[in-house]
Amino acid sequence: MKLPGQPVVELRDVSLLIPVEGATKRSLKANLVTGLTGGLLRREPRRSIGVEALSNLNLVIRSGERIALLGHNGAGKSTLLRLLCDIYSPSSGRINRSVSIEPMIDKSSWVDQDLTGYHAAKVQYLLNRNSLKGFDEFYGELLAFTELADFMHIPLRTYSDGMRTRLQFGLLTGFRHDALALDEGIGAGDQSFLNKAQDRLSSFLGNVGTLILASHSNDLLRQFCKRGVVLSHGRIVFDGGFEAAEAYYLSHLSE
């Protein structure tokens, strides 16, 4: 566990180029990738066209920080979270990590979708505790929080997005983590669940070291974050206190 204020992740001149294989000109595939990542289309010498999803990022995240990522759709927020969580590797530059950042990003790929909710919970418990001792109590608390009841006994592939959100959020916040990355993590679901999730996240943040949160809800970001990083087309254009970052985004980039 890092002491408060110590660097946990450092990005130095980091860029991420996503190749569009087989494309020799601007194509439907190239346009699709560009739209999803928010990057800029670029042709590398003697290579296929690629999307520069992130460009020349310099960023230091310290233990205990609560960081909001702001930017329009496709600005690179989700891509940056995947990079921080070591899901993506940079095309250039250097990343130094001293802790593992747990992702709550893609609710469809975090665990085998043929597992039931119950077995997914058991797998996550084993991975985090290396034993099933205490699982029954943990599972009871998970059921009460998620309110999934009998749905815990059917495959995850049948779950709605909101149900996956409930389960994944309940599991992630059921264990202690040094750092957590959330991408619209608790935005899916009804207001009743959102209120419960915010209460649970508030309690969880008393134990978690670091939070990086991307959301379209500025109220949510304001509640949990003290620092704001604004992205535009894969570049960091502002980094500072949350209120200043929010003001910059609203005056320069909001649609």
Going edge to edge, which strands form the sheet with 235-241? Answer: 101-104, 179-183, 210-214, 66-70, 227-232, 235-241
Say whether pLDDT at 104 is over 70: yes
pLDDT value of residue 30: 45
Torsion sign (Cα): 156, 162, 163, 166: positive
**More reliable by pLDDT, 83 or 30:** 83
- CB 35, CB 14: distance < 8 Å: no
Using DSSP's 3-state secondary structure scheme, residue 92 falls into strand
pLDDT digits (tens, 9 = 90+) for 173-222: 888 888 888 886 555 556 677 777 777 877 776 666 789 999 887 887 88
- CB 47, CB 207: distance < 8 Å: no
Burial of 113 (0-12, 13-18, 19+ CB in 10 A): middle
* Closest among 94, 100, 85 to 2, alpha carbons compared: 100
Sequence spans of domains, the chain:
1-100+177-255, 109-176
Indicate the range of 12-26, 122-136, 145-159 predicted with least confidence. 12-26
Say whether pLDDT at 32 is over 60: no
Say whether pLDDT at 25 is over 50: no
pLDDT digits (tens, 9 = 90+) for 33-73: 444 455 555 555 555 567 889 999 999 999 889 999 999 88
Torsion angles phi and psi, residue 120, rounded to 5: -65, -40
Distances from the Cα of 30 to the Cα of 41, 52, 72, 165, 189, angstroms? 8, 11, 20, 30, 33
pLDDT value of residue 44: 53
Q: Which residues are CB-contacts of 191 (< 8 A; sequence separation ≥ 6)?
A: none
Reported pTM: 0.75
List the alpha helices (DSSP H) in 38-116: 77-84
Task: Tell me the residue type at 170.
Answer: G
Confidence grade of residue 163 (pLDDT, cut at 50, 70, 90): confident
CATH number of 1-100+177-255: 3.40.50.300
Confidence grade of residue 121 (pLDDT, cut at 50, 70, 90): very high
Task: Tell me the residue type at 191.
Answer: Q
Task: Tell me the residue type at 85.
Answer: C
Indicate the range of 56-65, 70-79, 163-172 predicted with least confidence. 163-172
* Closest among 79, 212, 100, 104 to 166, alpha carbons compared: 104
Q: How far apart are CA 247 and CA 222, in angstroms?
A: 12
